[in-house]
């Protein structure tokens, strides 16, 4: 089962926890949500002291309708909701790492944390998405043992009849097509990488995807420690190539 870990740049982190955002109405009468941020201590990652936090993020689907009990009586139904959770790790160099849920849930939770704490001064949450120059990162990865490039997604290609393309293969960056795409000023939107597997007694290599907005997708379910063992060397390199 694939899982994601996302890096963003920290702008402001609340000094007092736990923190609850302002309430947000879903458009349904009588239903509103607020997101909670609380301290969990430190992550399981041993190479760096990363402070760990949990986000409890209720979401709902607003609708109207009828529900019927076994006795045949009808009742109005207004909405359903569920609590989603994900984790945040904070580093000393002012970056945040998000994991533990779907990318769409995490992004929605980040937005509510930002919008729901505006005007709180030192107890306001704020972060911003990053953009990685994957062209420059690709050049460094070719000289590094941290990962092997096995494919790349391209977009905005200035080539007739080719707007978006994927190139894959063992020596893909040496191919004529890759060179043509670079010369066309196309943008690399994601790199498919093989990285060393930190889990003993398993395959030596794991497949991951690194996107230009700082999302690493690991194509296998791994624990927290191993997720950071995989992601942090790549994020360390990526920080040198932020736009």
pLDDT at 27 over 60: no
**Which pLDDT belongs to residue 175?**
65
Highest mean pLDDT (candidates 20-29, 109-118, 190-199): 109-118
**Which pLDDT belongs to residue 199?**
84
Sign for the CA dihedral angle at 116, 119, 120, 126 comes to: positive
Categorize the per-residue pLDDT at 187 as very low, low, confident or very high, splitting at 50, 70 and 90: confident
Average pLDDT, the chain: 85
Name the percent of the chain lying above pLDDT 90: 57
* Mean pLDDT of the region 202-207: 85
Please tell me the distance from the alpha carbon of residue 68 to that of residue 75, in angstroms, as a whole number. Answer: 6
**Which pLDDT belongs to residue 200?**
80
pLDDT in tens, 127-146: 999 999 998 998 898 887 77
Residue 224: what are its φ and ψ, rounded to 5°? -60, -50
Per-residue 3-state assignment (H helix, E strand, C coil) for the chain? CCEEEEEEEEEECCCCCCEECCCEECCCCCCEECCEEEEEEECCCCCCCCEEEEEEEEEEEEEEEEEECCCCCEEEEEEEEEEEEEEEEECCCCEEEEECCCHHHHHHHHHHHHHCCCCCHHHCCEEEECCECHHHHHHHHCCCCCCEEEEEEEECCCECCECCEEEECCCHHHCHHHHHHHHCCCEEEEEEEEEECCCCCCCCEEEEEEECCCEEEECCCCCHHHHHHHHHHHHHHHHHHEC
Phi-psi region of 149 (alpha: psi -120 to 50; beta: other; left: phi over 0): beta
pLDDT: is 225 or 60 the higher one? 225
**pTM of the shown model:** 0.85
Categorize the per-residue pLDDT at 237 as very low, low, confident or very high, splitting at 50, 70 and 90: very high
How does 59-84 read in b/e, with b if 16+ C-beta sit within 10 Å? bbeeeeeeeeeeeeeeeeeebeeeeb
* Mean pLDDT of the region 21-35: 74
Burial of 26 (0-12, 13-18, 19+ CB in 10 A): middle
pLDDT in tens, 29-75: 556 789 999 999 999 999 999 999 999 998 875 555 555 555 556 55
**Which pLDDT belongs to residue 152?**
86
């Amino acid at each position: 089962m694939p899982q994601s870990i996302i890096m963003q740049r920290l702008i402001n982190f609340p000094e007092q926890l736990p923190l609850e955002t302002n309430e947000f109405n879903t458009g349904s009468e009588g239903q509103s949500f607020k997101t909670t941020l609380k301290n969990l201590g430190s992550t399981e990652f041993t190479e760096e002291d990363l402070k760990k936090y949990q986000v409890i993020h209720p979401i709902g689907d607003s609708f109207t309708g009828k529900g019927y009990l076994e006795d045949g009586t009808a009742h109005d139904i207004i909405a359903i909701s569920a609590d989603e959770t994900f984790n945040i790790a904070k580093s000393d160099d002012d970056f945040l790492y998000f994991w533990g849920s779907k990318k769409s849930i995490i992004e929605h939770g980040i937005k509510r944390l930002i919008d729901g704490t505006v005007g709180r001064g030192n107890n306001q949450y704020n972060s911003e998405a990053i953009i990685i120059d994957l062209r420059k990162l690709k050049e460094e990865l070719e000289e590094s043992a941290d990962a092997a490039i096995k494919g790349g997604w391209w977009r905005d290609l200035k080539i007739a009849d080719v707007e978006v393309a994927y190139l894959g293969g063992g020596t893909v960056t040496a191919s004529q097509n890759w060179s043509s795409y670079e010369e066309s000023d196309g943008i690399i939107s994601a790199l498919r990488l093989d990285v060393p597997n930190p889990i003993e007694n398993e395959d030596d290599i794991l497949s991951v995807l690194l996107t230009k907005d700082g999302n690493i997708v690991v194509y296998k379910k791994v624990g927290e420690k191993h997720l950071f063992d995989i992601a942090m060397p790549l994020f360390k390199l990526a920080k040198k190539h932020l736009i």
